[in-house]
Structure 1
């Protein structure tokens, strides 16, 4: 699947353990390559677009990522890493918009490090993952995080998206035809790259935490159950998790055929179709992947699948069987209190429909009316935790502060915490975003959130390095959670965050209902 170490010595600076940071300010050497970072920010060096794998183009489309190669005998090369790279080819949201911006040569990382970091710094590492369909890592900057707490190194990952990252059909299980879950495998390869190279940037490969938002949080949770080395990370943060079905390969056959037809590769069977798709231009690929809402198939969204290799079964099944990595977790709390769907902020919803029933049918096509009745009866305007909380240390939050730039500023919608934590970012289409300035109260609240997050990265405990005025965040073992919000009186020195008690029957009801439904669902 991936190059794992027994490689001819003439290959892959990516597998060579870096030995030093060069004397030139803002540079790092990996093998024969010297990367010049961006030193414009106070006390932080940002290395943009450092490759962790080869460009997945031509015959490498829909193939597992391959490490970057570089001959040791080649002369030393200085690589400009001062400007953000193009994002991976973007998908559309399904609302009639068009994706297509970006590049296929995108398997890269951005690294934010304290300016004085050396190979001896041994700083904990945060790896950030965005969503499956579209996203550009520079839209979630971390410079201010490292300025606030210069005891971490942060890395954000570019990986293949939409159909380019998650095309699936049974024939792709044959290595002669292609590989499955290549977007997820990109993430795994990036984590492997971190293990081999992050010391050059001041990081400690034994202290890696994965963070993700929305479908990126889904990725973070999938890494908990994925068939990958447990040494790749030691903690997970899952913000506003976008939960969805993980289909079987047969359930994705219809989506593959619809995509191939829209891309002009409808004939000849899957093997010939894959050959056609590898030759197709992006001007054919992008509209085909953006047409997913019109596909005549129930499993139409671009998501990971059960491939029997990296994702071996339904995640909930693996969790209930105890087949997951027992690491500390922060998770955005699920709160269906307004009756519209699954959310992690107070009014958050990704459901296409006005009711829980319609939303569940959209994301979980095999759900039955009986299942829906059981869920609605178990969770009437109440909250519940993830099935694995009783077996590992989990810190739960309900984000309760609106994004003030939205048309409905009292609605605490999906991604509201991202606006607060990432300098007022409101992401748009095709890798774009618009930043708006935070006021003094918002900045103070943002610093509280970042302190909790980076405390978790540093110690696997959000309380060890929190701000002095912030409340202690209890784990779910005490049946409580945090409600994250500004001080209602507008103070910049007093916390507005509160502790909420979670009724004991919510967890037990969740476990009972999920155990009943999970064997039927994919």
Structure 2
């Protein structure tokens, strides 16, 4: 399979002061005053809803990360004079957008980005705000987009319906991606994690300015999907994020996945430096060479090197992550932590649909299919032939001579979903609860009707939940760039409102429940109850109990071997 198609799977692989809430309102525009200056927004509406939402696009939350600021932690945005126009979308962060759009088109995902290179810039540290009332003190939902830390943008996620239908302020951010966002030499010269530190800076901006938009700075919930969920999981244990949010929602992602944290980040640096012909001198000289390289050359290198195939961008930098995230979780006090967390029922179908093989499908082909996806989320020693056979022996009940291709495919989907998503998510959930926190766990099992014609199987897969938690079907298509349309059936219209209500209830009270919704029990280590989210929600128990124990033992043996042979990098 070619690099292009292979790469697509990684895409779906984040001080309190009073701010004046004075504003001017015309028919279709509004001006508010923040600590940094005045901002002009625009009035938007969800479909079939006359209630206005005030949208503010591309507000800078940090100085441009260009010149000497490249590869540096973000610096707070400076005040401006006059009224800043925030009525149009500005810039997307540098990325391989052509590959991203190809994936969205192939998989029929309504997350398309502009094809025009003029939309992309290093100067991209912006956020969008949607609010139904600038004079209120509403809960704030702070969205961190996914895309494997290599692609994506907060601009794609229109918060109009979520805000209008639920009386909540929605914030969606950009952060630096790929080499520009996560390049590290593995030492203090270039520690990395700039993209995560961008998210922290955006949270600080919200803390200081969200009152001007009708938001309550003491009721901020961070939520994200895929790499956005990795980000949320990271903020739960990073000392840099302390006191910047109240609740956290994690959709389809855990920082405790085997390969999210890079054990040797200098490899990424050496790769891009060589590509840019920065090969002579000391390590400082090489860093300066890369820093001074024109961004167009870096953009070309991103496309040439195929960074969508990379997965392990996060590093132990000594600041955002003083230690490996695993140890931060093992040592954390979560007594003040409340999370809502879960996955879709068949997470990896979206990725396995891109896998193909030649000839007859047999046991060896089955192992190749498992390795195809697990290899993206795991280190090489995890997917050795010995370990693949161990996994297969646990999941296959029959004599392999009696198993047909359809059964093999179903088992491959089950294995890869369990290992790459559900085990890391449940591992994080159990750790939080064991160490004093509260959690509400879910499986999203609804199959979107508008996707039925585009899939080989009727399953709920990665990203499906987003289109209901944001209420995409209640909005007109964005006019800034071509987008695929989301439509709801009559039943899905009700379901989408239920999904948004669960999420907003949690952001408001730290509990998704209300009298008008099916009960969602709190997760406990005793009964492991979780919500099965579909048109008629139900409750499940003993979440993947036997399988979780298998994966826990499986990974423990691998980690023991790594410790034995000294292959772990735990601190800067």
TM-score range, shorter chain: 0.7 to 0.9
* Other-structure match for 2:24: 24
How do residues 36-435 of structure 1 correspond to structure 2 at under 5 angstroms? 36-41=40-45, 42-70=51-79, 76-91=81-96, 102-115=120-133, 117-118=134-135, 121-131=136-146, 132-150=149-167, 152-171=168-187, 173-174=188-189, 178-241=190-253, 243=257, 245-248=259-262, 251-293=264-306, 300-301=310-311, 303-322=313-332, 326-333=336-343, 345=347, 347=349, 349=351, 355-368=369-382, 369=384, 384=423, 385-389=426-430, 390-391=433-434, 392-403=437-448, 404-405=450-451, 407-408=454-455, 410-422=458-470, 423-424=472-473, 433-435=483-485
Cα separation, 2, equivalents of 1:125 and 1:246: 28
Taking the aligned partners of 1:198 and 1:508, their CA distance within structure 2 comes to 44
CA RMSD of aligned residues (A): 3.4
Among 523, 527, 540, the residue aligned to 1:500: 540
Name the SS of the counterpart of 1:303 in structure 2: coil
Structure 1: 5+ residue stretches without partners? 1-14, 336-342, 487-495
Is 1:443 the equivalent of 2:448?
Answer: no
Taking the aligned partners of 1:170 and 1:214, their CA distance within structure 2 comes to 25
Alpha-carbon distance in 2 for matches of 1:252, 1:32: 36
* Matching residue of 2:3: none
| Count of aligned pairs between the two proteins | 471
Q: Distance in 1 between matches of 2:201 and 2:467?
A: 29
* Contact 1:90–1:99 (8 Å) recurs in 2: no
CA separation of 1:508 and 1:311: change in aligned 2, threshold 3 A: same
Deviation per residue, 1:257-299 (Å, 9 max, x gap) = 221222343333432222222222232111212334489xxx9
What secondary structure, in the 3-state scheme, does the structure 2 residue paired with 1:434 have? coil
CA distance in 1, matches of 2:501, 2:120: 33
Q: Cα offset for 1:196? A: 1.4
Distance, in Å, in 2 between the alignment partners of 1:509 and 1:99 is 48
Alpha-carbon contact 1:32-1:77 (below 8 Å) kept:
no
The CA deviation string for residues 117-160 of structure 1, in whole angstroms up to 9 with x for no partner, is 32xx332211100121111223211111111111x211111111
Q: Deviations over 1:154-176 (max 9, x none)?
A: 111111111110112135x22xx
| Contact residue 58 and residue 126 of structure 2 kept, 8 A | yes
Tell me the TM-score normalised to structure 2 length.
0.73
**Greater helix share, 1 or 2?**
2
Q: TM-score, normalised by structure 1?
A: 0.80
1:462-501 equivalences under 5 Å are 462-464=512-514, 468=516, 470-477=517-524, 478-486=527-535, 496-501=536-541
User: What CA distance in whole angstroms lies between the structure 2 residues aligned with 1:201 and 1:47?
Assistant: 9
Structure 2 residue matching 1:479: 3-state secondary structure: coil
The whole-number CA distance in structure 2 between the counterparts of 1:378 and 1:333 is 22
Aligned residue for 2:120, secondary structure, equals coil
Is residue 259–residue 312 contact of structure 2 (8 Å, CA) maintained in 1? no
Q: Which stretches in structure 2 are left out of the alignment for 5+ residues? A: 1-14, 46-50, 103-114, 356-367, 397-413, 563-567
> CA separation of 1:294/1:123 partners in 2, compared to 1, >3 Å: closer, same or farther?
closer
Structure 1 distance, partners of 2:534, 2:495, is 7
